[in-house]
Structure 1
Amino acid sequence: MSNHKTKAREKVPMGQKLAFGAGHLVLNLLPGSLGIFMFFLLTAFGMDPFLAGLLGGLPRIFDAITDPIMGFISDNTNSKWGRRRPYIFVGAILSGVLFAVLWQLNPDNSQTYNFWYFLTLSMLFLIGNTMFATPLIGLGYEMTSDYNERTRLMAFSQIIGQIAWMIVPWFWVFIADENLFATQAIGVRNLSIIVGAICLLLGLLPAIFCRGIDSANMENRKEITLKTLSSNMKELFQGIKQVSKSKPFMKLCGATFLVFNGFQLVASFSFFIIVFYMFNGDYAAAGNWPAWFSTMTAMVTAFAVIPVVSWIANKWGKRKAFVISTVISIVGYLLKWWGFSPENPWLIFMPIPFMAFGLGGLFTLMMSMTADVCDLDELENGMPRKEGTFGAIYWWMVKLGQALALVLGGLVLKLVGFDQNEAIQTAKTMTQLRIADIVIPAITAALAIWVMWTYSLDEKRAREIKEELVKRRGEL
């Protein structure tokens, strides 16, 4: 149990926590909205399913390339506004504006025109979003050097970020409501402008109010110019190689990949089980139950789970907190067998308080532990600190998990015999789908516990590293 008291100068002021949390709200709201809106490429704009799939997949490949580059650039930037904040400021503006412009499609245009318009704007949007997201993650790792305050900061930001997931599920309802919008296309265009404006304004807050590590005297930063492009690319790959050799960091990435990918792989199954098992394929009868299921999950995660996980981490350490929260989530997955009941729909909320410990504990703890790993990297490899590179590689693993989940989720649906053209599925299909919905995330969560069982960077070691770094830098 930790008896350490965080020093006043190592605490992040509430104003900065709120601003950092606003940035995380944007980090969740943009991809969440994008995922919902992508569905309407087919129904509102008449895009061919294959082309719509390309529009979902091709930009992700581009995004995987730009993240490490942006991390390297922000790690080595030298400006009077710091290493991260200028990019966050510009990236927030580009993200908000380009998201709104991205969805100004017209169903009367040719499919070819809409395809190339959307693909081009997607690439530009992802550049802007990478400029915002990667430095923001890096900034969070360096806002405090205290072991416990890092967890509190990440917990607070995750709570604010969950607000996005309370709202996003209802975009389906808003866009399809003929009383709000004459057509789905108009709904997508108008709602994208609102989302873009909100993200722009909230995204500027961390750039204005948050403060990172004092980098004025940081050594060994590379010059970022066109003339040094070739040598910088070499340094970038060396940095990625260095980061990849960090065993604690690789454990964090592996555990995240397992927990998140397992959850995401079956995330859509809840919708199918509610509609086709609980309500026999009657969409009207299913009504808003799927949206309420998602919203309640986000609310429980934000206001109950994350504070509890943060408390456990400060009492018994981050690794133990991860193991405890992941075990509780497995219990939640098992309870879904009884919770998804045709006789009593209200029981779908029963597993939520347990399941929510999965992702609620995951990102709160993993982001805090990644900040600890950044200290270890500075101790072993010297300056400059590589928060941007660590953040880029970590979230690359998250995005890889999302991409695989989309592919494997469809494969599982096919293997269990799900037929999207049938309103009523066979009893065998629904039984197999319900089993997969429970077994897959439970197994991946158990494997993640196994990966983290020997994670060695505990509070004692983290504080020893911090003391060594303070001596090395000549700080008081």
Structure 2
Amino acid sequence: MKHHVTPLKDRVPIGQKMAFGAGHLVLNLLPGALGIFMFFLLTAFGMDPFLAGLLGGLPRIFDALTDPIMGFISDNTNSRWGRRRPYIFVGAILSGLFFIVLWQLDPEDSVNYNFWYFLIMSMVFLIGNTMFATPLIGLGYEMTSDYNERTRLMAFSQTIGQIAWMIVPWFWVLIADPDLFESQAVGVRRLSIIVGAICLLLGLLPAIFCKGIDSANMENRKVITFKTMFSNLKDLFQGIVQVSKNKPFMRLCGATFLVFNGFQLVASFSYFIIVFYMFQGDYGAAGNWPAWFSTITAVVTAFAVIPIISAMANKWGKRNAFIMSTVISIVGYLLKWWGFNPDEPFLIFMPIPLMAFGLGGLFTLMMSMTADVCDLDELRNGMPRKEGTFGAIYWWMVKLGQALALVLGGLVLKLVGFDQNLTIQSAETMTNLRIADIVIPAATAALAIWVMWNYSLNEERAREIKEELIERRGEL
């Protein structure tokens, strides 16, 4: 492949990359903390398990509905600060504040009161979070028009975002530590203040320092007012239809759905295998091994795997880099059979460097390729560019898969015979659980390779599209 030097005007300055990365740290820290704090609804606040399940599922449905709407609004916004940055600024403030308010529950209040309080505040929090997250992702797609610089930008942001997953696993340890907090409820309330404040401050950085495409002369943007609400809904639906007809984009969505949610479906299985297979159900003996497993995975992903994947994409193209990294991850999943060894606990870290190529390659490359797809959409359908809509639909697929993974994960546990009330699980159950932990993500990763095999938007075609767009816009 011919080596291409990125023009100076298409390079994203390191300060902007750091600010965009700070936004991605928030994108990872908020849902990561939310997922762990949700566990303490049961143990710290006495929430009924069925009601806790509703609190996990109902807001996700609401969130899936608001994402495309926010994407459409930011695509068609016309302001002196650009299309995305005003929403990112306000959304960062609302996300941080409402995350804090969300967790100021009191175990002394009734279960019904805490249920309705949490449900309503979850909706309010998600409005602020959607206002922040959807325009931020759209902004990333338009910060550079260069094929390779897009990958470098996404790699940088994903590396910083992984810092959240180095921290989040230790929330379990901190909240449950009686030397730090007099109760789990107090631990959740106080830690939420720290997390919310950090996310508020970091979330403001991309709104202040990052620059997107110059949209001053962008044509065909819709007027967003209460009077145009119904016509806007029609335009939103038409935009979603156009996005769904973009075959390269649908391949990206399909591959992401398979890789990410194959991983998510068995994400909790490693914890159960460590506790019940390696340490025979002794939580005390298992100690911090699960937390270290997650933290080391994030460290390896951030500082080793993502830079390697970025270099692979630069040398061999994004599609080829995705296929190679996914194959490597499958090998890593297979190594878990020997890595989870009761006699040699440190072997649990052996598969990590290879497994990390799965998610490390996925979001680094898919987000970069989605930016290329936005160029293709502009070529086919004209202005306005739809980075916000593409980002919203892409992450809607991710969230849909997460919801399905939560349901199917519990089903798999039931099918293998796992009994949460038993300290010692049967040998057959643990064998079946270990097989499922390997086969499911390996199989979905293999399917993702098949989906991406005929992905057609390579570097040569992407550069041709860029030149055609420059000529059409009359740019120098």
Range class of TM-score, shorter chain = over 0.9
SS in 2 for 1:152: helix
Cα distance in 2 for residues equivalent to 1:148 and 1:261: 27
Question: Partner letter of residue 255 of structure 2?
Answer: A
Aligned pairs (5 A) from 1:132-147: 132-147=132-147
Q: Which residue of 2 aligns with 1:292?
A: 292
Q: Which residue of 1 aligns with 2:418?
A: 418
Deviations 1:39-93 (A, max 9, x none): 0000000000000000000000000000000000000000000000000000000
Question: Partner letter of residue 432 of structure 1?
Answer: N
Q: Which residue of 1 aligns with 2:212?
A: 212
Q: TM-score, normalised by structure 2?
A: 1.00
How many equivalent residue pairs?
476
Deviations 1:357-382 (A, max 9, x none): 00000000000000000000000000
Q: Which residue of 2 aligns with 1:104?
A: 104
Question: Partner letter of residue 275 of structure 2?
Answer: V
Q: Which residue of 2 aligns with 1:259?
A: 259
Cα distance in 1 for residues equivalent to 2:433 and 2:185: 33
Q: Which residue of 1 aligns with 2:131?
A: 131
Q: Which residue of 2 aligns with 1:335?
A: 335
Question: Partner letter of residue 198 of structure 2?
Answer: I
Question: Partner letter of residue 144 of structure 2?
Answer: T
SS in 2 for 1:45: coil
How far off its partner does 1:2 sit?
4.1
Decide whether the 8 Å contact of 1:319 with 1:458 is kept in 2.
yes
- Verify: 1:356 aligned to 2:356, yes or no: yes
How far off its partner does 1:130 sit?
0.1
How far off its partner does 1:324 sit?
0.3
SS in 2 for 1:356: helix
Cα distance in 2 for residues equivalent to 1:456 and 1:238: 24
Deviations 1:78-109 (A, max 9, x none): 00000000000000000000000000000000
Cα distance in 1 for residues equivalent to 2:475 and 2:182: 63
Q: Which residue of 1 aligns with 2:113?
A: 113
Cα distance in 2 for residues equivalent to 1:132 and 1:270: 32
Cα distance in 2 for residues equivalent to 1:97 and 1:450: 43
Higher mean C-alpha displacement, 2-11 vs 330-339: 2-11
Cα distance in 2 for residues equivalent to 1:401 and 1:6: 36
Q: Which residue of 2 aligns with 1:196?
A: 196
Q: Which residue of 2 aligns with 1:224?
A: 224
Decide whether the 8 Å contact of 1:257 with 1:397 is kept in 2.
yes
Q: TM-score, normalised by structure 1?
A: 1.00
Deviations 1:136-193 (A, max 9, x none): 0000000000000000000000000000000000000000000000000000000000
Cα distance in 2 for residues equivalent to 1:417 and 1:108: 36
Cα distance in 2 for residues equivalent to 1:423 and 1:362: 36
Question: Partner letter of residue 312 of structure 1?
Answer: M
Cα distance in 2 for residues equivalent to 1:191 and 1:268: 23
- Verify: 1:8 aligned to 2:8, yes or no: yes
Decide whether the 8 Å contact of 1:2 with 1:315 is kept in 2.
no
Q: Which residue of 2 aligns with 1:453?
A: 453
Cα distance in 2 for residues equivalent to 1:8 and 1:219: 27
Aligned pairs (5 A) from 1:241-320: 241-320=241-320
SS in 2 for 1:203: helix
Cα distance in 1 for residues equivalent to 2:400 and 2:118: 22
Question: Partner letter of residue 286 of structure 1?
Answer: A
Question: Partner letter of residue 325 of structure 1?
Answer: S
Decide whether the 8 Å contact of 1:2 with 1:314 is kept in 2.
no
Cα distance in 1 for residues equivalent to 2:441 and 2:57: 23
Deviations 1:103-131 (A, max 9, x none): 00000001111000000000000000000
SS in 1 for 2:456: coil
Deviations 1:212-240 (A, max 9, x none): 00000000000000000000000000000
How far off its partner does 1:456 sit?
0.3
Q: Which residue of 2 aligns with 1:44?
A: 44
SS in 2 for 1:388: helix
Question: Partner letter of residue 254 of structure 1?
Answer: G
Cα distance in 2 for residues equivalent to 1:2 and 1:190: 54
Unpaired stretches in structure 2, ≥5 consecutive residues = none
Question: Partner letter of residue 235 of structure 1?
Answer: D
Question: Partner letter of residue 25 of structure 1?
Answer: L
Q: Which residue of 1 aligns with 2:180?
A: 180
Cα distance in 1 for residues equivalent to 2:195 and 2:258: 31
Deviations 1:279-322 (A, max 9, x none): 00000000000000000000000000000000000000000000
Question: Partner letter of residue 141 of structure 1?
Answer: Y
Decide whether the 8 Å contact of 1:306 with 1:361 is kept in 2.
yes
How far off its partner does 1:242 sit?
0.3
Decide whether the 8 Å contact of 1:2 with 1:316 is kept in 2.
no
SS in 1 for 2:369: helix
Cα distance in 2 for residues equivalent to 1:369 and 1:96: 30
Cα distance in 1 for residues equivalent to 2:154 and 2:459: 16
Identity in percent: 85
Cα distance in 2 for residues equivalent to 1:138 and 1:214: 14
Q: Which residue of 2 aligns with 1:325?
A: 325
Cα distance in 1 for residues equivalent to 2:132 and 2:395: 13
- Verify: 1:472 aligned to 2:472, yes or no: yes
Aligned pairs (5 A) from 1:29-68: 29-68=29-68
Q: Which residue of 2 aligns with 1:396?
A: 396
Question: Partner letter of residue 391 of structure 1?
Answer: G
Unpaired stretches in structure 1, ≥5 consecutive residues = none
SS in 2 for 1:215: coil
How far off its partner does 1:33 sit?
0.2
Cα distance in 2 for residues equivalent to 1:2 and 1:176: 55
Question: Partner letter of residue 7 of structure 1?
Answer: P
Q: Which residue of 2 aligns with 1:24?
A: 24
- Verify: 1:380 aligned to 2:377, yes or no: no
Cα distance in 2 for residues equivalent to 1:388 and 1:296: 33
Deviations 1:12-60 (A, max 9, x none): 0000000000000000000000000000000000000000000000000
SS in 1 for 2:162: helix
Cα distance in 2 for residues equivalent to 1:214 and 1:100: 35
Aligned pairs (5 A) from 1:66-81: 66-81=66-81
Question: Partner letter of residue 337 of structure 2?
Answer: W
RMSD: 0.3
Question: Partner letter of residue 176 of structure 1?
Answer: A
Q: Which residue of 2 aligns with 1:82?
A: 82
Q: Which residue of 1 aligns with 2:344?
A: 344
